Amino acid sequence: MAVRVRDLTAEENEQVKRLAHSRTAPARLVERARMIWLASQGRRVSAIATELHVNAETVRLWLKRFNAAGVEGLKDAPRSGRPATYTPEQVGEVIAAALTNPQRLSLPFGCWPLDRLEAYVNEEKGIPIKRSRIDELLIAEGLRWRSQETWFGERATMDAAPDQQPAPLKKERAVDPDFAQKRGPSRPSIRLLRPAV
């Protein structure tokens, strides 16, 4: 039995025509609307399939979906998939922890290497998340992870036992004002080309 498109209302006819000739709508939606538009013009399924370079079963599927649900039936149905592993609240807690100075949390270190951040989030926040996933979350938020380069700057430590109140910070080493000169010029990663004569 041949599948035919039902009679379109004036509103549906206008929507399908606009979608079928759209240059900005998603390509799948345009193709499906073209199937309906051609069918409403009296074209047969096999002729529509040949013109649009699709399978005749595909044309029948979208004609049936349009007949049942109208223009809304041309959209992709929600697909089931793996649920999100971490809630938005948990992701927010991980990012907030990464952006917080560890010393403000009474921790005995001054930077967040990913291993320490992982341990803190797992133990203190109760979020079982791996180091690699933390890195992915930070990148997705537009944050670039970089270890603190303490070898050229001021470094501070805490002189308190874990069960006591933290003592004032003590400077281990002061900033070397001649560091840039001692280091020497940075080598560029790209070789410079000599100017043409």
Task: Quote the pLDDT of residue 2.
Answer: 73
* 90, 40: one domain: no
- CA-CA distance, 47 to 157, in Å (whole number)? 78
The total number of structural domains that make up the chain: 2
Provide the residue range defining the domain that includes 53. Answer: 10-74
- CA-CA distance, 169 to 102, in Å (whole number)? 13
Q: Is residue 181 in a domain?
A: no
pLDDT per residue over 139-160, tens digit each? 888 776 654 333 333 334 444 4
Q: Which of 98, 70, 96 is nearest to 7 (CA)?
A: 70
Q: Is residue 41 in a domain?
A: yes
Positions in the chain short of pLDDT 70: 1, 144-193, 197
Task: Quote the pLDDT of residue 119.
Answer: 92
Q: Is residue 15 in a domain?
A: yes
* 42, 61: one domain: yes
Task: Quote the pLDDT of residue 47.
Answer: 93
* 87, 143: one domain: yes
Task: Quote the pLDDT of residue 61.
Answer: 93
Task: Quote the pLDDT of residue 16.
Answer: 92
Cα-based distances in Å from 82 to 77, 79, 135, 136: 16, 10, 21, 18
Q: Is residue 156 in a domain?
A: no
Burial of 131 (0-12, 13-18, 19+ CB in 10 A): middle
